[in-house]
Every structure is written in C-alpha cells, then in structure tokens.
Amino acid sequence: MIVLGIETSCDDTAAAVLEDKTLRSSIVSSQDAVHGPFGGIVPELASRHHVIHILAVIHAALEKAGIGLGDVDGIAVTHGPGLVGSLLVGLSAAKGIALARDIPLVGVNHLEGHMLAVFLEREIEFPYVALLVSGGHTSLYLAEAAGSYRKIGATRDDAAGEAFDKAAKMLGLGFPGGRVIDQLAKKGDKAALRFPRAVVRGARYDFSFSGLKTALRELLRKEYGIGADPQAPSLPEPVLCDIAASFQEAVVDVLVNATVRAAQELGVGRIVVSGGVSANSRLRAHMAAVAEPQGIAVYVPSPKFCTDNAAMIAVAGARRLARNERDPLTLNAVASLPL
Ligand code: KG4
Ligand code: ZN
C-alpha cells in the first residue's frame, strides 16, 4: 500500500510517500526564514506560504519516490491540532486529490504522528511511556496500543520548545531557538548556573517551565543589564554558552525525571521521546543515561523525524487505511484536538 502523507499544521509544508513500511520520500519546506524576523510564527503568513508551496512539495515527494498520483492508494493528512488556516491548506490539497482520483482519505492527529514517528525506523512493542515535547506541546502519555493513549501528565504553562524559543529570544539568538541553544550548550558548562526545576505539587507527571523563563529574564536583567528583546547576542560567547548549557540542563532534568519516574511507577520497560525538542542532543543522551541502567529502553526518532514532517503522518494514517477506514470529504480542520 502506497500512502501519501501531507502535513501543514504549523509552519512547515511537508509531504511524504510511504510504501508499506518503507519510506520512499519525505520533503519538508521550512518557513523559518519567513517567521524569524518576527520572533514567532505569524499565522497569516504561515497559511499564505503553505498555499505557495504545497503543490510543489507534494510533487517533489512523488517525484523522489518515483511514482505518480495514480500509484497512490491512500492519503493521510493532518487535520489538527494546529493553526486552522495552515491546516486547511494541507487538508484542501488532500481532499482535492482524493476527490479527483477517488482515493481514500484519512485525517491524522498531529500528536499521534509524533507519537508513532519512531515506527519509521524500527518496530517496538507496546506499552511504552511517551514524552511528547514540541513547540506547542509537552505531555506524557501511556501508549497502551496503537490508537490507545492515556495522558498521564502535561505542562501547566509553557511547552518545553516554547521555553527554549523564549530563552533564545531573550539571548538575542533568533527564532526558533531550540537548535541554537543545543549547539551553544555543547561548548558551555551545564553546572555554571543553577536554574529552578519546578515540581507541580500533587501532580507527579506535570511540568511547569514559566518559572525557569522568569529566572533567566531576571538573571539577564540583574547581572548583565539585558532587556527583554535584544536583536543580537550581547554577551561574550563563553558566558552565552554557559547560560545555554545551564538552562538546557534544567529543562532536560525536569523532562527526564518525570518520564523515567512514570516508566518505573507504571512498570513499563520502554520510553519513546518525540516532537521537535526530542532533537535536543542533551535530552537524548541524558534520557538514555538515566533510564537504561534501570532496564528501561529509550527510543528516539532520528532528528529529521522529531521535528514536523509528513512521514510520521503517513505512518499514523497507514494503520487506519489498512483497516479500510476513511474520512469523508467534509473532514474539517480542528485547532485543538486531543489525542
Ligand atoms: O514538533 P515541532 O517541529 O513543531 C511543533 O509541533 O511545535 O517542534 C518545534 C520545536 C521548537 O520549539 C524548536 O525550538 C524545538 O522544537 N527544537 C529544539 C531542537 N530542535 C527543535 N529544542 C531543543 N533542542 C533542539 N535541538
Ligand atoms: Zn509537531
């Protein structure tokens, strides 16, 4: 079965071709250069750029896979959660192809895509504890089977990726900043500064990152006289690297502690980390270093499958298409769609 995956939930325009369990192509057109100057995603610009690029991206995915539209057996498209204007572009393209070619269409929850991205590279057994960390979400799930996920924890305020992006902005590192902080942190001392690790009373697996953000803002203001929105880094590189490493360590500590504790307490021997922040090198290394000595296996997709892509949407949709499920052409975009 050949599945065309389409993803436009946020600021990446993506299409992929999956043939059974083999990924034939995965194309991602990033809009970082469009939104960077604004310090965050501008929804109206995101939809407009999806409109410009969607057909070329789909065409590129088909061409790289060496197939035509006539070879596609089913279409999997993200229908939520995300920016409605963005989602509608991918959804409209998918519906148009499905209608014109009489191909089955299934809507995929973006979060389930992240959750199942790991299956692009290996088969793993259920159950597992899944940490889903991206720019918009930070949640912990018990994945009992494909399609059966129990939410056991979530952030009370900022998502981890949002914390990285806001920290990068305060340091004058541009947007999105998670990857830049990761790179700078490699040259810094993670014990140079002590940032708070918030514990949410009475909710063992919940997270909070807003205090960490405030601590960084206060540090920059008091120690270095830096305001909220510098346009370029104004600290000497070694200091910047130490701050990046110490800040990153605080985020990673909180994520790893809750995830490993959940796996231990629920008696689950597998952890899957997914979403854009799972591309973070320290999170990947530290999760494995803490969990594996306790007999808990850690699985993280390759970085290109951690950030938004359509291959993960194809993988999630293929399971439903294989069961002969299909969604009607009235399928709508949904901004807030729980897993
Ligand atoms: O999953 P994703 O591509 O989009 C959403 O659905 O949100 O995640 C994007 C987020 C951004 O906040 C970005 O800064 C963060 O993932 N990110 C990273 C790294 N690469 C991407 N955060 C920390 N370290 C990285 N290496
Ligand atoms: Zn995402």
**What does the pLDDT look like over 253-283, one tens digit per residue?**
999 999 999 999 999 999 999 999 999 999 9
Cβ of 81 below 6 Å from ligand 1:
no
Smallest CA-to-CA distance from 30 within 276, 317, 339 is with 276
Per-residue pLDDT averaged across 308-318, rounded? Answer: 98
Distance of alpha carbon 26 from alpha carbon 323, whole angstroms:
24
Q: At residue 217, does pLDDT exceed 90?
A: yes
Q: At residue 199, does pLDDT exceed 90?
A: no
Q: What is the pLDDT of residue 51?
A: 98
Q: Whose CA is nearest to atom 20 of ligand 1?
A: 179
- Which atom of ligand 1 is least distant from the CA of 160? 12
Q: At residue 314, does pLDDT exceed 90?
A: yes
Q: Which of 21-25, 100-104, 134-138, 270-274 has the lowest mean pLDDT?
A: 134-138
Quick: pLDDT tens for 322-331: 999 999 999 9
Q: What is the pLDDT of residue 306?
A: 94
* Ligand number, closest to the Cα atom of 135: 1
Q: At residue 230, does pLDDT exceed 90?
A: no
Record the tokens describing residue 195, joined without a space: 């940032």
Cβ of 308 below 6 Å from ligand 1:
yes
Predicted TM-score (pTM) of the model is: 0.94
User: What are 149's strand-pairing partners?
Assistant: 143
Q: What is the pLDDT of residue 324?
A: 95
- Which atom of ligand 1 is least distant from the CA of 9? 6
Q: Which long-range contacts (CB under 8 A, 24 or more apart) does 89-95 make?
A: 89/8, 89/13, 89/47, 89/50, 89/51, 89/54, 90/6, 90/7, 90/8, 90/9, 90/13, 90/50, 90/54, 91/8, 91/331, 91/332, 91/333, 93/6, 93/54, 93/55, 93/58, 94/6, 95/329, 95/331
